[in-house]
């Protein structure tokens, strides 16, 4: 498919509701999806508005439909700390329906909002937090386009590389995606819930 089938532009507040919906469609059954579309809207809103955020949207140029989204931050520790200080009440409120179903999930909510990744901190790297493509556009190359555009913007902003974490087990397509796009496995670790995770890095210096 030709790249003219979409246009890549900065994620704006007008996109955040649809970004949450794309995330839900792309990752059904995942924890952030369990927290619901309004929680996701708050998260993408933060990436769009925060100075350290790098967030992009892919739109259909004819209809304006949101086809995909990618988001992360140049300052993982500071970004999530500021997020909790400024918008704790919004995240708390929008997570209440999910917590009513599963009260034990509160610890995971707090961990999600303080997440900084579990990767080597030997140099300043940007954190890629999320990349989601609408199901009907998966397999078209859009994910690789979004990933490359995000990496290019991180490179322009004086970091030495980027990193991300993802599931190591039952996640073969995603792991192949990052390897195919030049990322390398830096480490593996277990979460407190005993999920095996994999850290990927992509450095240019």
User: Above pLDDT 70, what percent of the chain?
Assistant: 77
| Sequential DSSP letters for 84-116 | HHHHHHHHHHHHHHHHHH-GGGHHHHHHHHT--
At residue 60's C-alpha, the angle toward residues 58 and 66, to 5°, is: 50
Q: What is the pTM of this model?
A: 0.84
Q: Which of 119, 94, 126, 129 is nearest to 109 (CA)?
A: 94
* Rounded-to-integer distance, Cα 75 and Cα 51, Å: 10
The reported pLDDT for the residue numbered 162 is 95
> pLDDT by residue (tens digit) across 146-182?
999 999 999 999 789 999 999 999 899 999 999 999 9
Helix (H) or strand (E) holding 71: strand 66-73
Supply the pLDDT for residue 187. 92
Look up tokens 């995330």; give the residue: 23
Q: How far apart are CA 200 and CA 205, in angstroms?
A: 16
Q: What is the CA radius of gyration of the chain?
A: 16
Provide the token pair at 121.
Answer: 């901190």
Positive/negative CA dihedral, 186, 131, 102, 111: positive
List the domain boundaries for the chain: 3-203
The DSSP output letter for 50 is: S
Q: Which CATH architecture has domain 3-203?
A: 3-Layer(aba) Sandwich (3.40)
1 pLDDT exceeds 50? no
Alpha carbons within 13 A on the beta-carbon side of 187: 9
């Amino acid at each position: 498919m030709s790249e003219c089938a979409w246009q890549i532009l900065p994620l704006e507040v007008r996109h955040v509701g649809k970004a949450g919906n794309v995330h839900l469609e792309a990752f059904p059954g995942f924890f952030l999806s369990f927290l619901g579309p309004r929680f996701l809207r708050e998260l993408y809103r933060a990436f769009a508005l925060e100075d350290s955020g790098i967030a992009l949207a892919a739109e259909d140029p004819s209809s304006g439909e949101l086809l995909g989204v990618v988001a992360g931050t140049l300052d993982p520790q500071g970004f999530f700390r500021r997020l909790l200080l400024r918008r704790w009440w919004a995240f708390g409120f929008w997570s209440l329906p999910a917590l009513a179903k599963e009260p034990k999930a509160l610890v995971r909510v707090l961990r999600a909002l303080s997440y900084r990744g579990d990767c080597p901190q030997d140099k300043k790297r940007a954190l890629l937090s999320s990349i989601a493509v609408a199901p009907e556009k998966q397999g078209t190359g859009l994910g690789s386009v979004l990933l490359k555009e995000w990496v290019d913007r991180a490179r322009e902003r004086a970091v030495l590389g980027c990193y991300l974490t993802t599931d190591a087990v039952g996640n073969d397509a995603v792991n192949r995606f990052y390897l195919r796009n030049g990322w390398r496995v830096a480490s593996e670790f277990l979460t407190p819930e005993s999920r095996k995770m994999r850290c990927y890095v992509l450095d240019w210096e």
